[in-house]
Structure 1
Amino acid sequence: MPRGLALARPAERGVTGDRRVVALFSATMLTSAILLFAVQPMVARFVLPTFGSAPQVWAVALVFFQAVLLLGYLYAHVSSSRLGVRRALTLHGVLLVLPVLVLPLGVPATDAGTSAGNPAWALLGLLTVSVGLPFFVVSTTAPLLQRWLVNTDHPAGRDPYFLYRASNFGSVLGLVSYPLLFEPRLALDDQGRWWTWGYVLLAVLLFACAAFVWRNAGAARPVERGADEQLTVRRRLTWLVLAAVPSGLVVAATTVLTTDVAPIPLLWVLPLGLYLITFMIAFSSGGRSRWVFRASVWLMPLAILAVAVVTVAEIRSPLWLILTVHLVAVFLVAMVCHGRLAQDRPAPQKLTTFYLVESAGGVLGGAFAALLAPLVFNALWEYPLFLVGAALLWPGVRGVKPRRVWDLAWPVGLGVAVYVALTELSYENAVLIAGAAVCVLFALRRPARLAAGLAALFLAGTWGVAAAGTPVIERERNFFGVRTVEQGSGVRSLVHGTTLHGNQLLRTGLPQPTTYYHPASPIGQLVTGGPRGITRRTAVVGLGTGTMAAYSQPGDEWTFYEIDPEIVRVARNPRYFTYLRDAPGATEVVIGDARLSLEEARDRTFSLIVADAFSSDAIPTHLITREAIDLYFRKLVDDGVLAFHISNRYIDLESVLGNLAREARLACYAGDLDAPLGEGIEEANASAWVALARRPEDLGDIAGDGRWQRCETGPDSHTWTDDYSNIISLLR
């Protein structure tokens, strides 16, 4: 989210005025920044369950906050340039009081249909109603405080950029404090109340600042530097692009990370926090900031090419390596772009224009990544696109300019060589690393050459890996992610993001359960070894390919709950999968959020509920809370069984369910199968499941099966509720 954060030291400008005024304005700026950036992950966490815990929730939320920030900067620009000082102060005093009408923060109730289809606009509307007005008012503080100070006779008004030292620090502090301090310790309602008290403090500080400006506005003197500085169209467009690229890159990188792991606030704030830190460094005075900028210029090509290798090769472990590669690239790209912005910042008299253009660039970049890209791309192509854009903005490290013909000739040669090597050789990682190394060697002289080489590596690498891998017969994308239908030798698969969501063997006869659901899997053991009639009335949260329907029996009634209508379309298409069509029992699919939809079902209806919904590589947190467990058991018959699929590369959810079962006095058993058992089982994947019931005997044979163990538990304080969850503590 763009914020022009200049940090010239007042002492270096000859400021000798009242330090108490500087302290007051700095404290106000610090408070404003903390509130501005703490509320973003907080409110996104509020609305996450309503939209199926999709990774795109944070991307759309970021665009919303960027757009409101732009409106705040526009208000600051117009009020400070068109109104007199005292009329502007009066207007803002009235504006400060209005958020009292919507505080404390909260999210209005929604129905199950809110998240169906493409809910981006519904999400924007919900954010507007819940936090739009308070966020707008807080977002005006930064440019207004600077402009107010310019309109006084205080010496600091000669160059008020120093105020952003406090703003930068507050921005990062507010952002990182949420996942590390507030989310693990406070319920959502308490978080909203604490933010409200913070807003009250900000209002008091702003009224104090306004009182000082009111008393001293009459003696204001002209700004000494840059009164007639010209802001050409070319210069403004440059600011716009330099702000748009890192903003869009943050959104795109966050989408990639949360798709591979889980949509959690920690992975939201890490890229955005690094983005803000680059502002702190870029707009600071002194030699250290210049040294960091020069080092970033040198290192950026290596970082973005490393992302190309990791992305094209689909490297997903170890987690620390994946996070490091993506986050370092975000930091270096943002550092280079924001460094160039800092070098070209205008005089204080033009600062509101500077922030307005910069904010507009941030909105454009974020909106492209969050709103437009899912509509025009069938994969996460916005990420490499922003990296190529960053390469074009790279200032380079040498002054010699080679002939332009090589800017196009050598990337074409690189792309052809990488594609041929990937389709003919089996060492794809080595090929991609070699291609990246060649790109570095030939690109150091020209940004255009670096961008062309990076694009060639992405395109040739993606096409080469695809040609050597499983053929894709359909790829679609919407708000909930990218779905790919692949067909290999004798099997057809559905991949959602980077997670396999089921496959089907291509043979005649009734389809057999495969992947995580094969007969020897924990869920296969539960269904076949559970009490008689366990499947007679079954609810399955999460559809996938509909593989679970293969376990239905004649006379059974199965209801699948699925939030993504495109998954329903694929599962019902007999050209792809026939589990639903060929199910021995009757099947029904309900579209919408599972918890909200289950609320509408009659109590004591189901004999078995299977929670198999995955957002990214993890079950959505709102489906695994105290309130969710209570809901499931209200809908189960007295001897009903609840099963959770908890397979995950990075997160261990067994203790979460163990705690919930202990609190509700339920029987809880965990089954974890690393390899298929028995002969004749094909296309089997390792999986981990947890089964819960009111009594151990309700679970049938598995309660005494050595392959199932009682669930592990953790401290009582770690029991998840709708108001509290802490995924960070569960990372492997």
Structure 2
Amino acid sequence: MPYVDGLTAAEGRGLAVLAAPEAASRPRLARAVPVFTATLFAGAFLLFLVEPMIARMVLPLLGGSPSVWNTCVVFFQAMLLAGYAWAHGTMRLGVRRQSMVQAALVAAPLVALPFGIRQLSAPPSDGSPVAWLLLVLLLSVGLPFFVLSTSAAVMQKWFSTTDHPAAKDPYFLYAASNLGSLLALLAYPVLVEPYLTLQQQARAWTIGYVAYVVLALACAAIVWRQPARARDERVREAALGAALTGTRPALTWTIRARWVALACVPSSLMLGLTTYLSTDIAAIPLLWIVPLSLYLLTFVIAFGGWSVRATAAADRLLPLALVPMAMIMVGRVSAPLPLAMALNVAAFVAAALVCHGNLSASRPSTEHLTEFYLWIAVGGMLGGLFNSLVAPVAFTTIVEYPIALVAACLLRTRIGRETLWIDRPMIAGGVVAAVATLSLGAVLWANQALPTGRLFMVALSVPAVLAFTVARRPVAFALAFAMILTAGTFFNAGLGATEYAERTFFGVYRVHTDEAGGYRYLLHGTTLHGMQRLDPARRQEALSYYHSTGPVGDAFASLPAAAGHRVGVIGLGAGVLARYARPGQHWTFFEIDPSVERIARNPRFFTYLGDCGPRCDVSLGDARLSLARVTDGEFDLIVLDAFSSDAIPMHLMTAEALALYRLKLSPDGALLFHVSNRHLVLAPIVARLAGAAGLVAVNRFDRNEPPVPGKIGSHWIVMTRERAGLGPLAANAAWVALEPHAGTPLWTDDFTNILSVLRPSQANAR
């Protein structure tokens, strides 16, 4: 009999005989389910709201480094694990005493709310800020976050001790908890961030926490009305278990390990899909919300009333989505963007639902409820740590995503000797076929006897057909799917224009070479960060967004500030702007990622920085923090070129940031903003900033019509204190005044709204 809470008919009759006298003496708790459901929903809702709030609060203090968000994620996961550990450990006190302790714990954060940044010292100016940030997070939101982390396990355990008919299997409440998380995730960017400052958000969150305290105390009151069961719960569960389920297998480490794996794989998949979509398919702002929302939704389904049917359907759907998705991923099959995204999302939902459905099916009796959730938390944390901290260091591409997909295939069913024995002939045949295909393909490739496209089809067709053949056999299908990925990766290694690839915490960088066109490109995910001609005689031409016939060429030819002695540039890319450095000038590039500097300085790839020589240097670190350490009035011109990707550093586009830029400019200095973006309309925000600061602003939107070879359309904005600071640019008809739009909010460190600047249609994207 599987280790689940379901009972046979005989066991059910026995349980009724033993439990009926006590149950009959108690009134039905009609309100128990609504109260407990509301409590779990509220706790999860508040938990998911506080995460983006506190991360936004620390952003101006430490800058936009991924280490800041990764440290926040590690803190959240550690506190969540600590919450589940507390729930599991304190249940040894017995439910009545534990509920009293829990009630005091729930009320404790009220003395420290509303939360805000609490720090004992300033952020470290050198060295790692991780320890400082962890302490700040602990002091600021540690206690309320910890309390909310205990909610799911504690409330379900409490409910299991009531007289309600559903108390024998309280896991349906976990669906309510994940629904609260899902709605909070969707509500923050749509309903909270656009309308409330961070201080207002903290106050509103405090009101919500007070409501949660009231609900939690109501749950405790329900528990306190069950004195006999609360006092004798552990004895009664043990007695009933021994009498009715003597053949039930004990909770083993194998079962615990499977719980961890079933929780770890979907967690890794969710993060891997987010990275893959934004890196290799489409870098769209807020794209991360889709995988995370679907991840939570699979929890809701798996622990709701549709688990068995939904898991079975997902198990059938998974092979149908994975094979064509793998062909697109590694086989260089051209597919429309909606189809590629749909296949990836469908495969993820199916894989996550299979794992979470199996997790729900293997849930234990209520005696082990808190331990069950503890191991789920361990698995989720391991998946998050693997993707957030290990993968960027260990891999140069998004390898963790296909690894998690293969693991999900293996978890479709328990792996044991019987399964392996049944699948062994297919596995052996698949291995032989794959090796033969790869060997034949390698020979044909070496002798150039097969075109590239057909070579890929030969390499991928055998494992693809094999995968569909063994789709009902989890182990064999997982190996066949892995063969597709391996075959594609094998040939991709030598058949691409990718000259160099490197992965950091900021994403994946690729240097692509177009021999036919005569260009070399630097890509960050799918966003172009500069290009250069391969012809040595023409390598000093400024290309892409920085073309001499575009807005940048105008600015450096006309702005008086561009002739000044010192120029600061936020954002390095391939270093194309260094082409405009004049004799006697000194340029400082502010770049957050050391890998970008290494690529830009490598003469194998780009030569702009090398040709500039000692006139150009690079300051590594968050630009806003680095610029704050520069002498006031240091620069005659500051160029801001950090807003072209999907994840813009919003802390560089606030009123406080603009005040810092003005402070570092000379009296006649100028600011040059690059606001080209495929997904965001940033000009209204910059116009509002300029208007609030009393600056003169003009802009040019260059559509590159008719097309000029090596040039990409771009949008640039110039700001000066006085109109005279524009010089000849003021008379250039291509440059028009930029006036603030009515109703455009002023972005500050306390308020930003990314949804307000999303393009209404991708038809306008370049």
Could you tell me the TM-score, scaled by structure 2's length?
0.83
Single out whichever of 198-207 and 241-250 deviates more from structure 2: 198-207
Q: Structure 1 pair 585/55, CA: closer, same or farther in 2 (3 Å)?
A: closer
Asked if the contact 1:112/1:597 (under 8 Å) is kept, the reply is no
How is 1:619-638 mapped onto 2 (pairs within 5 angstroms)? 619-638=648-667
- Tell me the number of residue pairs that the alignment of Structure 1 and Structure 2 aligns: 713
- Residue 347 of structure 1 and its aligned partner are, at CA, apart by 1.4
Matching residue's letter, 2:388: A
Asked if the contact 1:258/1:616 (under 8 Å) is kept, the reply is no
1:403 aligns with 2:426: yes
Partner of residue 497, structure 1: 525
* Percent of paired sites with the same residue: 42
Distance 1:528 1:250 in 2: 48
- Residue 334 of structure 1 and its aligned partner are, at CA, apart by 0.9
1:163-195 residue CA offsets vs partner (Å, 9 max, x unmatched): 334323322222211111111111122112222
1:461 aligns with 2:521: no
Give the structure, 1 or 2, with the largest relative contact order (CA under 8 Å, sep 6 or more). 1
Q: Structure 1 pair 688/366, CA: closer, same or farther in 2 (3 Å)?
A: same
Matching residue's letter, 1:698: G
Asked if the contact 1:49/1:620 (under 8 Å) is kept, the reply is no
- SS of residue in 2 equivalent to 1:203: helix
User: Which of 436, 445, 464 is the equivalent residue of 2:472?
Assistant: 445
- Residue 337 of structure 1 and its aligned partner are, at CA, apart by 0.7
Partner of residue 378, structure 1: 396
Distance 1:108 1:594 in 2: 24
Partner of residue 57, structure 2: 46
Q: Structure 1 pair 237/533, CA: closer, same or farther in 2 (3 Å)?
A: closer
1:164 aligns with 2:174: yes
Matching residue's letter, 1:33: A
Asked if the contact 2:5/2:365 (under 8 Å) is kept, the reply is no
Partner of residue 746, structure 2: 719
Partner of residue 11, structure 2: none
Matching residue's letter, 1:247: S
- SS of residue in 1 equivalent to 2:184: helix
Partner of residue 497, structure 2: 470
Distance 1:129 1:322 in 2: 44
- Residue 719 of structure 1 and its aligned partner are, at CA, apart by 3.2
Q: Structure 1 pair 112/360, CA: closer, same or farther in 2 (3 Å)?
A: closer
1:661 aligns with 2:690: yes
- SS of residue in 1 equivalent to 2:223: helix
- Residue 138 of structure 1 and its aligned partner are, at CA, apart by 0.6
Distance 1:272 1:188 in 2: 23
1:600 aligns with 2:629: yes
Single out whichever of 104-113 and 713-722 deviates more from structure 2: 104-113
Single out whichever of 446-455 and 707-716 deviates more from structure 2: 707-716
User: Which of 11, 17, 24 is the equivalent residue of 2:28?
Assistant: 17
1:133 aligns with 2:161: no
Asked if the contact 2:62/2:123 (under 8 Å) is kept, the reply is no
Partner of residue 9, structure 1: none
Q: Structure 1 pair 418/395, CA: closer, same or farther in 2 (3 Å)?
A: farther
Distance 1:668 1:96 in 2: 52
Matching residue's letter, 2:352: A
Distance 1:449 1:548 in 2: 53
- SS of residue in 2 equivalent to 1:137: helix
1:250 aligns with 2:245: no
Larger Rg: 2
1:231 aligns with 2:282: no
Q: Structure 1 pair 673/722, CA: closer, same or farther in 2 (3 Å)?
A: same
Single out whichever of 54-63 and 548-557 deviates more from structure 2: 54-63
1:427-449 residue CA offsets vs partner (Å, 9 max, x unmatched): 89989997896465334132233
Give RMSD over aligned pairs: 3.8
- SS of residue in 1 equivalent to 2:753: coil
- Residue 278 of structure 1 and its aligned partner are, at CA, apart by 0.8
Could you tell me the TM-score, scaled by structure 1's length?
0.86
- Residue 540 of structure 1 and its aligned partner are, at CA, apart by 0.4
Q: Structure 1 pair 242/24, CA: closer, same or farther in 2 (3 Å)?
A: same
1:300 aligns with 2:337: no
Distance 1:378 1:122 in 2: 30
Q: Structure 1 pair 491/269, CA: closer, same or farther in 2 (3 Å)?
A: closer
Q: Structure 1 pair 322/667, CA: closer, same or farther in 2 (3 Å)?
A: farther
Q: Structure 1 pair 573/190, CA: closer, same or farther in 2 (3 Å)?
A: same
- Residue 125 of structure 1 and its aligned partner are, at CA, apart by 5.5
- Residue 211 of structure 1 and its aligned partner are, at CA, apart by 3.2
Asked if the contact 2:397/2:508 (under 8 Å) is kept, the reply is yes
Partner of residue 84, structure 2: 73
Asked if the contact 1:5/1:168 (under 8 Å) is kept, the reply is no
Partner of residue 389, structure 1: 407
User: Which of 718, 721, 731 is the equivalent residue of 1:691?
Assistant: 718
1:144-167 residue CA offsets vs partner (Å, 9 max, x unmatched): 112223344555533333433432
User: Which of 95, 119, 129 is the equivalent residue of 1:85?
Assistant: 95
Asked if the contact 2:437/2:459 (under 8 Å) is kept, the reply is no
1:272 aligns with 2:272: no
- SS of residue in 2 equivalent to 1:104: coil
1:515 aligns with 2:535: no
- SS of residue in 2 equivalent to 1:19: coil
Single out whichever of 316-325 and 405-414 deviates more from structure 2: 316-325
Partner of residue 10, structure 1: none
Asked if the contact 2:65/2:592 (under 8 Å) is kept, the reply is no
- Residue 499 of structure 1 and its aligned partner are, at CA, apart by 2.6
Q: Which runs of 5+ in 2 are unaligned?
A: 7-15
Distance 2:116 2:434 in 1: 52
User: Which of 552, 555, 573 is the equivalent residue of 1:544?
Assistant: 573
Q: Structure 1 pair 317/40, CA: closer, same or farther in 2 (3 Å)?
A: farther
Asked if the contact 2:520/2:605 (under 8 Å) is kept, the reply is yes
Partner of residue 10, structure 2: none
- SS of residue in 2 equivalent to 1:352: helix
Asked if the contact 2:502/2:508 (under 8 Å) is kept, the reply is yes
Single out whichever of 486-495 and 172-181 deviates more from structure 2: 486-495
Partner of residue 363, structure 2: 345
Q: Which runs of 5+ in 1 are unaligned?
A: 7-12
- Residue 79 of structure 1 and its aligned partner are, at CA, apart by 0.6
